[in-house]
Every structure is written in C-alpha cells, then in structure tokens.
Amino acid sequence: MNILIKQATVVNTQSPHHGKTVDILIERGVITQIKKNIVPEKGIKTIEEEGLCVSAGWLDMQANFCDPGYEHKETLENGLKTAAKGGFTGVCVMSGTNPPLHNKAQIDYVMNRAKGSLTDVFPVGTISYNQEGKDLAEMYDMQLAGAVAFSDYKKPVKDAGLVLRALQYSQNINSFIMTHADDKTISQGGQMNEGVVSTKLGLKGIPALAEELMIQRNIQILEYAGGRIHFPTISTKGSVDLIKKAKANGLRVTCGVAAHQLLLDETELEGFDTHYKLNPPLRAKEDVNALKRALENGTIDVVVSDHYPQDIESKDLEFDLADNGIVALQTAFNCLVTAMPKIAPETIGECLAENPRAVLGLKPVLIKENEDANLTLFTLSGKTILTEKQIVSKSKNTPFIGESLQGKVIGAINNDKLVLN
C-alpha cells in the first residue's frame, strides 16, 4: 500500500525531522521520502487533516484481551482492532486470561493468533506459575517464545521472597518484572478510594497506604536484589514520591499511569455508576494533580490504557458486586489530552511511543527515510465523541459514551497496513 501524508508535524525526538511540518511518502510499508512538499501520484492514498501530527506508533504497556478463557468479553483479534482504532501499533498483552500466560504454549498461542495484524503484540508472561504467587513461572522459556516482561497482572505478589527471586532471575535473562501495587491485607473488600467521599457514600475504602506500602516494599527488595522493576498503574501522590526518590537513588525503577486516572477522580462515584469502579481506584483530586505533575517532570515514564473489558453481567450489578475495569484503548489518548490540555506534543510522543519501547528494551521507531512506517496520526484540536456503535471492543464498559473529549486519533500505520477513523 502506498500512502502520502500531507503537511504533518513530526513528533519524534529521535528523528532529524522532529518539529518540522513535512510530507511523508510511504511505499510498501517503508518511508521512502520526507520533503516539504510531495506531489501525489495518481491513485495514491492521501491523508490530510488540519493540525495533523505524526509520531512513532504508540505502544500500550497494559491491556487485557481476555483471550484465552474469557472470549465473551474480548478476543485477541477484536482487541487488536480496538488498539488500532485507538492509535496503538503495539500492545503489551497481559496475563489476565484463563489459563494465565504462564508457560511457553500460552505465549505461542498469543503470538500465533496475532500474526498479520496492524498492531504488534508483546506478551507479558506471569511471574508465578498459574498466578498462584507461590513458585516462579517458566520465565526463560516464555522469553524465548516472545514474552517481553513478567507480571501477575492485577494479582499483587504477596510473597516478598518470590519478588526477590523473580528480580534475581530476570537479571540473568536480561528482562524485568512488572508488579501491581496493592496490599490485599489492607485493601480487601474495598470498593473505592478511602476518604471523605467513601465515608459519605457508605462504601468500604481502599487506602492509599495499600498501594504505597507495596511499592515501598518492592523498592527495598529491588535495592537489595538489583534488576529492574516497573509499576504499571500508580495512582497516589505518595507513590509518586516513593518512585521519584528511588530514581534519584539510582534504582532501575519505572512506572506508568492509566490515562483515565489523570482525568477522573473519586467524586465520579457519587452516582454509584459501576463504570467508574476501577483497580486502582479513582483517587482524590490531590492525587490526580500529583500524577499530572509527575508525568510532566518525567517521574512517570509511560501512559497506559489499562484496557480491561467486562461484559454487562459483570458491570450491571449492585456496586459492591460489580467487577473492576474499563475498555480504554479507544479513549486513552483523548483522556490524556482532555486532562492536560496544555501538554506538549513531545510529551505525548514520549509517554505513548518512545518511553514504552525504551522500558521494554525495544528498538526505537524513527520517522526518517528508509525506515519501516510505524506511525500514529493525531490532532490535538477538535473533539471526539464516542458512540456505543463506534466501540470496537466486544464489551462496552466505559463511562465515556456520548462524552466530548479533546483531540482526535486520525489513524495508524504499521506492517504495511492502514487504519483510519
């Protein structure tokens, strides 16, 4: 497929064209020309949009496609189409499946099912066998099959000794672990952030302490064992402070934040809408502001969708019985821009495209001639209003249907394929 992108501002700090407004010609999946003006040939697909920006293809470091085991909520094929619509040309597929991605066969299954898609798949294997938190999973075998990192997804590793062994072992295979921070002995039974709002609503709260205690513990284990650790979805001001201090001390720690955590706070739950029931929970305004500052100053490395599909039977329940989760791949960028309307395009490129690849140890994507075209097209102006019909995911568990959000994802290009919105 031959494509001409007209008058797009390049957002790619490692590209010699960064910050320039140029035309980009793509032939058979390769960038062949980048010039001030390219006259389109007859029959070529031309993309033009006012205020168009082009960055390296975005990579989401946390999404659950529920396949195998929960295909009624999402499938790999459907999840990858959803990712492309959201502008993501790469996705870390998490192990929230049945069975979990805990051995070579499971990683092979994901890799084979994803072949031929626009969006590249980067499977994340489990830390522990079957996510039971007892014995190490077959990390090396999974890495050989294609696993880029190891995580028990939303199940925090209770056993400190297991975290220690996982960090030590991951160093031997030049990999790292990702751990969800939540001390269940503190948060068990919690429905939302602990605070004034939870007290007013009569709901059991989840203290910030549950997250921060686990982060502090794992940072201290990291300091002892060495290696690399990533906290995929932090949500509190205290977590930001702990990670900032750890980085200042030279520890190899990185972290991410879910895009909706930058936009929404605990007051959204005053209507008992289960679409706002998430893990980690929506926190106080003070925490949300701290997360925004941390993204701007580089303490937070990446922004993720935390895409977690739930069918209607899992959400259309009394609040305390409903499951956590949100379908977020199609709204992640819009949540980010709506929450931070003055965000620099460079920051968007870094937290959605460049930093995720750096954390994963992948080759950077460059917007320059003779490089493969792995691109996301977007505008910061204009509004996006998501309708239920436009949701590609099999599940519809999002509070953003009918809401006006800032920015537009124009399309994605990768593997000689194009998806336009």
Active site residues: 306
C-alpha to C-alpha distance for 259 and 358, rounded to whole angstroms: 19
In terms of residues, how long is the chain?
421
Strands 58-63 and 88-93, sheet pairing: parallel
Write the DSSP assignment of 198-245 as a string of letters: HHHHT--EE-HHHHHHHHHHHHHHHHHH-S-EEES---SHHHHHHHHH
Find out whether 217 and 189 touch, Cβ atoms under 8 Å: no
Task: Report the candidate in 328, 266, 287, 283 with the shortest Cα–Cα distance to residue 83.
Answer: 328
Sign of the Cα pseudo-torsion (124, 125, 126, 127, in order): negative
Q: Does the bond joining 68 to the residue before it have cis omega, within 30 degrees of 0? A: yes
C-alpha to C-alpha distance for 110 and 100, rounded to whole angstroms: 11
Beta-bridged to residue 385, according to DSSP, are 404
DSSP secondary structure letter of residue 115: T
Task: Report the candidate in 113, 108, 105 with the shortest Cα–Cα distance to residue 78.
Answer: 113
Phi-psi region of 125 (alpha: psi -120 to 50; beta: other; left: phi over 0): beta
C-alpha to C-alpha distance for 418 and 421, rounded to whole angstroms: 10
Residue 185 burial (CB count, 10 A):
8
Write the DSSP assignment of 258-322 as a string of letters: EHHHHH--GGGGGG--GGG--SSPP--HHHHHHHHHHHHHTSS-EEE--B----HHHHSS-TTTS
Lookup: tokens for 24: 């980009």
Sign of the Cα pseudo-torsion (352, 177, 292, 246, in order): negative
